[in-house]
């Protein structure tokens, strides 16, 4: 029997979903939707009579104080009777096979109540004052995503929730022998393999030598393992590069730039090398305190988020959390970060290519995804950024990062022959089939329909219990190695763990969500919330007990054999067999052509403008504006280790780096900062990368990081790097990573790339169009604060203090916020002087140690005056700033009327503002060795900012600055 | 004498158990984290404890309503144990999700027949919110708030809007001193009620004052360094005002 239970608020005021729907409809110009009502609907299937279902509704589904419920057999007319005169009923429900967390939770609760064998699916119901077609289209535009949900107007015609089917063992041979290149290319495309012709040649030849063609499951395994997503084949390829610095040939681009820098730094550090495990595990591991190491990873989840923002961002975060959990012998996640690059949220609907989700809805979706997953995981989301640029319209970028802490020595893990292959966590369904290869293919307006299978919904609670179980099993030392099931599913996870030893896997033992998956599907499914562990047989019993105690399913599905072969079985039959060496080393390498032009420099043209007026304009620009509406949706304080929050001071001003205690109850801190100079990507990719790295480092140094313990991460997001002119800028960015890491002695410890961020569509005129994202490097800096009690914050503290700037200012306005604000076009490209920058960073850190700094803020987006404004907003007090006292280097070409604006808003990297307590000037000055610096103002009790320029002074209330800075939060939030 | 013992009860999705246990230890007690499954199998595990605390989190994902399934499990598998614990003078503290659980179990603000006098509904914003609020304690039998006046604590929840069943219930609860913790205006007079709670109610206790639930997180203000404006303003080695609730609890059972 299939029942439906509708649960709704007793009164309209309590119906938030309805209010949001009406507001949303108004916002996107849907007429006639002046009112709405909603209900949480539950489909319950089982051997239950009406009284039983009513009991379930009372005890489990409805709140007796605020809600009412209606129980009926599905399809009953009473379920679609109008409410408050709203006559059209729309149901939004997850498509069959799509994860339904609420439904799963309800099913589990019913089992707790003794109703074993009942199934529940959740849905949302809307009563709308629209005709059926309008109602359906409004639901699609506002609350439903057809990649994962069905929209049904009127009564539901469902008869059963039972899904799945049966699969009987079979092996599909994929004939490669004799295929010409065109046919191979077609085969790769048709099967969504993302393999090049050259790679398919290698596969064909390998199997030819074996005297047969590959089975589907073998070909799929190779495609997953060789995917850009899994092995970064572009960045590790030989590259023949023609750049501004001349011609360079790399045998392995990443190895000879980013990795090489880390190796050189480690060698120069010798015995005091503090890197532990870099570029080999799921995250990078470095020393922390006497008995702990910390690890960090930042991932991208761009393609899935473009199609299903909520699920894409949530599973992106879930994935990077598992990366940290799956590092060494497991690490405990202690902090998350998230960075989004999206198109301006006011992009007009007419400017949206077909298949593109409006940026406003996309941003709301990815924020909600990170919120609902991260908050449920009990991991504080402490750092992040949002960058807005039209170039991200078709390919928004979603970066998720996690920091973990592990016992010292926990980074060393090794699978042993005879260990059991154990899969733990969620069950396996058809979720995310081809996610790895999908993410290596360019998006198109058809992607939503083509690749829906690659989109997933996360179930955070399953991952939370998985984390609790894994950390307990690690404490008891019950496994030899662990990795997460991410892209490629078991095929990648088991494949990597078995890379040297090989393994026998019985795929029919993999716990399934529903029957009917083929062996191949079970093997490559990217179902979420799963980890693979190598468990010594003698520890199996204890491990199973630990799993049961947390309500986690753990299943032994095979053995690591030492045969060097990957043997896949189904009920005893051989489903496929691969030589591990070929799988991991057999991929052919091809030399890539790369070209990069000289940086584009455009002479600055200034418009006359007031300082205060320009400042308000800059503070209101989306990149600079407060992200409070996002930050407050994230639990950034759970776990209790919070020291420096993303919003600080009496006025809730912005933070630079954010700090948490690495171990609760101890005073050593972990500090996170990010840097993103995407606006320079097309002008000068080298400086884009260099500026981003400096920004990330400056952020954490301002917060009190030890400059000798900074670890870096790179996340390259690029267009189609098969084009030499697109690969060129990537090579330049890699060169910058190498040079800056060496200069700052800050090793890269991990990284990730997302290529092919190109969106293709056919426009109204029938012309094929495509757009590529601007070259984007996200730099993440992981620092350490020796004693969090000395951590720094940017908010101004005491009237009477002096305000000093450290570092030389220049009129660098190309790609700057003041340019976006329309006060200037072009100008010098903000350029990093690494040696000067290093001296500045060391001087600032020394000043902090000397106790002569009350507040510290790095100068980045919006320049000097914007930074001072942010300090006054946080402190809720005022400041006087004398621009004529700022160490400023400009040639004669700079017109006099532009000098103040250039000083105030130029974005020269590597500058800091420090609040010096009165009486601390001498101590401060003693630490300023060989760096340009000067006192440029003072802190005022009155909440007003006074800016003194060559042509007189201007005053503006801090309340006005705060209002401008909060514009975006008011509009978007 | 021996330090008092607190049992920090967790369920799948509980995520504030470590810092809550540490808060009890910091206050001088002994705290043990126990999974609800383990306690259901061996209720005697609570016998040597004087304080039972249900910490914050998203028990069972809160996918249906916050705290509901955890409460259901407590009612069905541990109802007797909880009543015994309360009747022998044990203290019960519910923080955030724990407060929601206490209301759903009927251990707090329920009629004799178990029907509930109040609930915690979705915030009026319809969203999760993490921010600091100013709170005012009112005279009440609540042992956890003994001697406390005004304090600052963070909230972090999506379902914290206190809604009484009726005005009569609200009047009765107020008269009995059972709603002793309220959101108050901050130092510049701006209201800090973050969720639209009726009468600014942030916490509630039973008539004895020994069963107490609150939405704000006292375990997140044990040290001054957890405050958003401590840098350069508070002594980083000083305690946060949240610690007082745990000290009060330990004192009440010593």
Residues A66 and B124: their CA atoms lie apart, in Å, by 13
Among the options A70, A241, A301, A857, which is catalytic? A301
**Å between A486 CA and nearest CA of chain B:** 22
Contact A461 B127 (CB under 8 A): no
Among the listed residues A91, A206, A229, A636, the single catalytic one is: A229
List, in order, residues 6 or more apart from A34 with CB less than 8 Å away.
A22, A129
Contact state of A459 with B131 under an 8 Å Cβ cutoff? no
Strand B161-164 to strand B118-121: parallel, antiparallel, or no bridges (unpaired)? Answer: antiparallel
Q: Do B13 and A465 touch (CB under 8 A)?
A: yes
| Cα A823 from Cα A613, distance rounded (Å) | 11
The helix (run of H) or strand (run of E) holding residue A68 is strand A67-73
Measured in degrees and rounded to the nearest 5, phi and psi for residue A34 equal -80, -20
Q: Are B129 and A17 within 8 A, CB to CB? A: no
A371 in contact with B, Cβ within 8 Å:
yes
Name residues of chain A where pLDDT drops below 50: 447-452
By CB atoms closer than 10 A (0-12, 13-18, 19+), residue A310 is buried
Say whether A633 and B129 touch across the interface (CB within 8 A).
Answer: yes
Q: Output the pLDDT for position A450.
A: 44
Nearest Cβ partner for B65 among A63, A122, A665: A63
**Does the beta carbon of A851 lie under 8 angstroms from any beta carbon of chain B?**
no
Closest residue by Cα to residue B215 from B139, B141, B148, B131: B131
Instruction: Tell me which chain B residues have a C-beta less than 8 angstroms from the C-beta of A665.
Output: 22
Residue range B241-249: average pLDDT?
97
| Residue A852 Cα, gap to closest chain B Cα (Å) | 12
Q: Is A68 on the interface with B (CB under 8 A)?
A: no
* pLDDT value for B8: 98
Q: Report whether A947 contacts A839 (CB < 8 A).
A: no
For residue A715, which phi and psi values (nearest 5 degrees)?
-130, 105
Q: What is the ipTM of this complex?
A: 0.97
Other CB atoms within 10 A of residue A177 CB? 10
Q: Do B69 and A60 touch (CB under 8 A)?
A: yes
Say yes or no for a CB contact (<8 Å) between B12 and A461: yes
Size of interface A-B (CB pairs under 8 A): 172
Using DSSP bridges, classify how beta strands A711-717 and A669-676 pair: parallel, antiparallel or unpaired. unpaired
Range 107-166 of A in CB contact (< 8 A) with B = 108-109, 112-113, 122
C-alpha A656/C-alpha A384 separation (Å) is: 10
C-alpha to C-alpha distance for B232 and A854, rounded to whole angstroms: 6
**Looking at CA atoms only, how far is residue A880 from chain B in angstroms?**
20
pLDDT, one tens digit per residue, over B203-233 is: 999 999 999 999 999 999 999 999 999 999 9
A 531-550 residues with CB < 8 A to B:
549-550
Chain B, nearest residue to A637 by Cα: B220
* Residue A636 at interface with chain B, using a CB cutoff of 8 Å: yes
Q: Residue A70 has what pLDDT?
A: 95
Chain B residues with CB inside 8 Å of A636's CB?
130
Contacts of A818 (CB under 8 A, 6+ apart): A614, A618, A824, A862, A863, A901, A905, A906
Minimal C-alpha gap between B86 and chain A (Å): 23
Strand segments, DSSP code E, in A113-175 are 119-128, 149-153
How far is Cα B107 from Cα A235, in angstroms, rounded to an integer? 60
- Which positions in chain B touch A793 (Cβ < 8 Å)? 231-232
pTM over 0.90: yes
Q: How far is A655 from chain B (nearest CA, A)?
A: 10
Contacts of B10 (CB under 8 A, 6+ apart): B17, B33, B34, B35, B36, B55, B57
Cα separation of A717 and A688, whole Å?
12
Q: Which of B53, B152, B219, B227 is catalytic?
A: B219
Look at residue A449 in the predicted model and tell me its pLDDT: 46
Q: Which of A17, A63, A105 sits opposite B119 (nearest CB)?
A: A63
- Shortest distance between the Cα of A436 and any Cα of chain B, in A, equals 28
Q: How far, in Å, CA of A313 to CA of A844, rounded?
A: 37
Q: pLDDT tens across A341-389, in order?
A: 999 999 998 899 988 999 999 999 999 999 999 999 999 999 999 999 9
Cα torsion through A476, A377, B68, B182, rounded to 10? 120
Q: Give the chain A residue nearest B117 (alpha carbons).
A: A65
Residue among A576, A583, A579, A577 at smallest CA distance from A172 = A576
pLDDT at position A901 is 95
Query: Among residues B20, B29, B66, which one has the least CA distance to residue B220?
Result: B20
Q: C-alpha angle with apex A715: A711 to A719, nearest 5 degrees?
A: 160
Q: Which of A752, A760, A759 is nearest to A776 (CA)?
A: A752
A101 contacts B61? CB cut-off 8 A: yes
CA-closest candidate to residue A873, choices A702, A645, A625: A625
CB A574 within 8 A of CB A568: yes
Using the beta-carbon criterion (under 8 Å), do A461 and B220 form an inter-chain contact? Answer: no
Asked if residues A879 and A868 have their Cβ atoms less than 8 Å apart, the reply is yes
Is 50 exceeded by the pLDDT of residue B120? Answer: yes
Chain B residues near residue A57 by CB distance under 8 angstroms: none
- Our CA-based measurement puts residue B17 at a distance from the nearest CA of chain A, in whole angstroms, of 8
Chain B residues in contact with A108 by the CB 8 A cut-off are 60, 69
DSSP state letter for A817: H
Confirm whether A229 is a catalytic residue: yes
Cβ–Cβ contact A23 with B under 8 A: no
Query: If we measure between CA atoms, which residue out of B119, B122, B123, B80 comes closest to residue B102?
Result: B119
B74-95: per-residue pLDDT in tens? 998 999 999 899 999 999 999 9
DSSP output for A825-892 = EEEPPP---HHHHHHHHHHHHHHHHTT--SEEEEE-TTHHHHHHHHHHHHHTSEEEEEGGGS-B---T
Question: A866 φ, ψ to 5°?
Answer: -60, -40
Contact B232 A640 (CB under 8 A): no
Q: A632 contacts in B (CB within 8 Å)?
A: 129-131
The reply to whether residue B231 touches residue A639, judged by beta carbons under 8 angstroms, is no
């Amino acid at each position: 029997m299939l029942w439906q239970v509708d649960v709704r608020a007793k009164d309209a005021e309590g119906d938030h979903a309805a209010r949001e729907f009406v507001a949303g409809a108004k916002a996107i110009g849907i007429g006639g939707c002046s009112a709405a009502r909603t209900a949480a609907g539950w489909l319950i299937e089982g051997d239950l009579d009406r009284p039983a279902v009513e009991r379930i509704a009372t005890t489990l589904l409805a709140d007796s104080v605020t809600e009412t419920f209606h129980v009926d057999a599905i399809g009953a007319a009473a379920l679609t009777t109008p409410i408050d005169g709203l006559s059209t009923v729309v149901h939004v429900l997850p498509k069959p096979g799509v994860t339904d967390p609420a439904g799963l939770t309800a099913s589990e609760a019913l089992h707790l109540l003794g109703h074993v064998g009942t199934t529940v699916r959740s849905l949302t119901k809307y009563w709308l004052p629209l005709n059926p077609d309008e109602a359906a289209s409004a639901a699609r535009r506002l609350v439903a995503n057809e990649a994962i949900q069905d929209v049904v107007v009127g009564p539901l015609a469902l008869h059963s929730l039972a899904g799945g089917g049966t699969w009987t063992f079979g092996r599909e041979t994929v004939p490669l022998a004799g295929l010409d290149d065109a046919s191979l290319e077609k085969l790769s495309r048709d099967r969504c393999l993302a393999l090049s012709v050259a790679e398919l040649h290698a596969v064909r030849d390998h199997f030819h030598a074996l005297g047969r063609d590959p089975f589907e499951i073998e070909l799929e395994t190779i495609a997953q393992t060789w995917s850009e997503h899994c092995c970064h084949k572009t960045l590790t390829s030989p590259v023949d590069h023609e750049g501004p610095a001349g011609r360079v040939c790399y045998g392995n681009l990443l190895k000879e730039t980013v990795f090489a820098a880390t190796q050189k730094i480690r060698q120069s550090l010798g015995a005091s090398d503090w890197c532990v495990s870099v570029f080999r595990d799921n995250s990078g591991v470095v020393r922390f305190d006497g008995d702990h190491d910390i690890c960090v990873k930042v991932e991208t989840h761009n393609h899935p988020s473009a199609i299903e923002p909520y699920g894409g961002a949530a599973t992106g975060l879930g994935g990077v959390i598992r990366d940290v959990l799956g590092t060494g012998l497991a690490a405990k996640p202690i902090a998350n970060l998230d960075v989004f690059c999206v198109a301006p949220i006011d992009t007009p609907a007419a400017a949206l290519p077909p298949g593109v989700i409006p940026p406003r809805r996309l941003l709301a979706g990815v924020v909600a995804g990170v919120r609902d997953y991260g908050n449920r995981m009990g991991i504080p989301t402490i750092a992040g950024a949002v960058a807005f640029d039209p170039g991200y319209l078709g390919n928004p970028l979603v970066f998720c990062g996690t920091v973990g802490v592990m016992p010292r020595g926990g980074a060393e893990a090794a699978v042993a022959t005879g260990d059991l292959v154990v899969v733990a966590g969620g069950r396996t369904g058809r979720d995310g089939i081809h996610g790895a290869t999908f993410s290596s293919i360019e998006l198109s307006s058809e992607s939503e329909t083509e690749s829906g299978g690659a989109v997933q919904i996360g179930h955070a609670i399953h991952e939370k219990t998985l984390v609790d179980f894994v950390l307990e099993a690690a404490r008891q030392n019950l496994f030899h190695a662990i990795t997460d099931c991410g892209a490629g599913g078991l095929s990648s996870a088991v494949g990597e763990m078995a890379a040297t030893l090989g393994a026998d896997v019985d795929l029919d033992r993999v716990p399934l969500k529903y029957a009917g998956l083929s062996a191949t599907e079970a093997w490559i499914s990217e179902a979420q919330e799963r980890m693979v562990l190598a468990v010594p047989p003698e520890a199996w019993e204890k491990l199973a007990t630990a799993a049961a105690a947390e309500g986690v399913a753990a299943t032994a599905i095979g053995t690591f054999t030492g045969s060097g072969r990957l043997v896949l079985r189904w009920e005893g039959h051989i489903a496929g067999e691969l030589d591990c060496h070929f799988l991991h080393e057999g991929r052919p390498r091809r030399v890539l052509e790369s070209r990069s032009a000289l940086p584009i420099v455009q002479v600055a043209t200034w418009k006359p403008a007031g300082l205060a007026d320009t400042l308000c304009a800059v503070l209101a620009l989306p990149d600079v504006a407060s992200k409070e509406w996002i930050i407050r949706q994230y639990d950034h304080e759970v776990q209790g280790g919070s020291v420096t929050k993303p919003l600080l001071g009496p006025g809730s001003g912005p933070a630079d780096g954010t700090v948490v205690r690495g171990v609760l109850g101890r005073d050593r801190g972990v500090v996170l900062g990010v840097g993103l100079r995407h606006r320079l990507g097309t002008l000068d990719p080298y400086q884009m990368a260099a500026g981003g790295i400096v920004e990330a480092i400056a952020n954490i140094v301002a917060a009190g990081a030890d400059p000798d313990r900074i670890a870096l991460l790179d996340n390259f997001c690029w267009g189609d790097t098969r084009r030499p002119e697109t690969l060129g800028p990537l090579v330049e960015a890699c060169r910058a990573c190498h040079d800056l890491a060496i200069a700052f002695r800050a090793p890269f410890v991990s990284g990730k790339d997302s290529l092919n961020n190109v969106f293709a569509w056919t426009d109204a005129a029938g012309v094929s169009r495509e757009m590529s994202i601007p070259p984007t490097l996200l730099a993440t800096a992981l620092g350490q604060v020796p004693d969090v009690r000395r951590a720094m914050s940017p908010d101004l503290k005491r009237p009477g203090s002096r305000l000093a700037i450290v570092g030389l200012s220049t009129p660098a306005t190309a790609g700057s916020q003041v340019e976006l604000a329309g006060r200037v076009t072009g100008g010098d490209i903000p350029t990093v002087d690494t040696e000067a920058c290093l001296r500045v960073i060391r001087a600032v850190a020394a000043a902090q140690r000397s106790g002569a700094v009350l507040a510290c803020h790095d100068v980045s987006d919006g320049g000097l005056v914007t930074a001072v404004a942010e300090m006054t907003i946080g402190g809720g007090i005022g400041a006087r700033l004398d621009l004529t006292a700022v160490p400023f280097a400009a040639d004669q070409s700079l017109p006099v009327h532009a000098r103040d604006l250039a000083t105030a808003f130029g974005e020269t990297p590597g500058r800091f503002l420090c609040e010096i307590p009165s009486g601390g000037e001498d101590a401060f000055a003693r630490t300023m060795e060989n760096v340009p610096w000067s006192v440029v103002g003072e802190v005022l009790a009155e909440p007003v900012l006074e800016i003194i320029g060559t042509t007189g002074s201007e005053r503006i209330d801090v309340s006005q600055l705060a209002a401008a800075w909060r514009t975006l939060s008011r509009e978007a939030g | 004498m021996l330090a008092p013992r607190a049992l920090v009860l967790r369920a799948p999705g509980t995520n504030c158990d470590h810092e809550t246990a540490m808060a009890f230890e910091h206050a001088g007690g002994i705290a043990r984290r126990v999974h609800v499954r383990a306690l259901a199998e061996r209720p005697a595990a609570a016998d040597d404890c004087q304080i039972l605390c249900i910490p914050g989190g998203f028990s069972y994902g809160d996918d249906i309503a916050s705290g509901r399934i955890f409460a259901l499990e407590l009612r069905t598998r541990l109802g007797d144990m909880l009543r015994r614990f309360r009747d022998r003078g044990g203290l019960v503290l519910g923080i955030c999700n724990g407060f929601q659980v206490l209301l759903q179990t009927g251990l707090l603000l329920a009629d004799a027949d178990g029907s509930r006098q109040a609930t915690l509904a979705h915030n009026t914003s319809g969203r999760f919110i993490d921010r600091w609020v100013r709170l005012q304690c009112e005279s009440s039998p609540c042992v956890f708030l003994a001697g406390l006046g005004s304090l600052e604590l963070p909230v972090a929840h999506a379902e914290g809007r206190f809604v009484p069943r009726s005005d009569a219930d609200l009047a009765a609860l107020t008269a009995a001193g059972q709603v002793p913790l309220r959101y108050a205006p901050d130092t510049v007079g701006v209201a800090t009620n973050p969720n639209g709670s009726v009468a600014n109610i942030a916490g509630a206790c039973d008539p004895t004052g020994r069963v107490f639930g609150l939405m704000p997180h006292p375990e997140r203000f044990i040290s001054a360094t957890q405050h958003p404006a401590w840098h350069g303003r508070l002594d980083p080695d000083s305690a946060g005002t949240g610690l007082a609730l745990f000290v009060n609890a330990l004192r009440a059972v010593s």
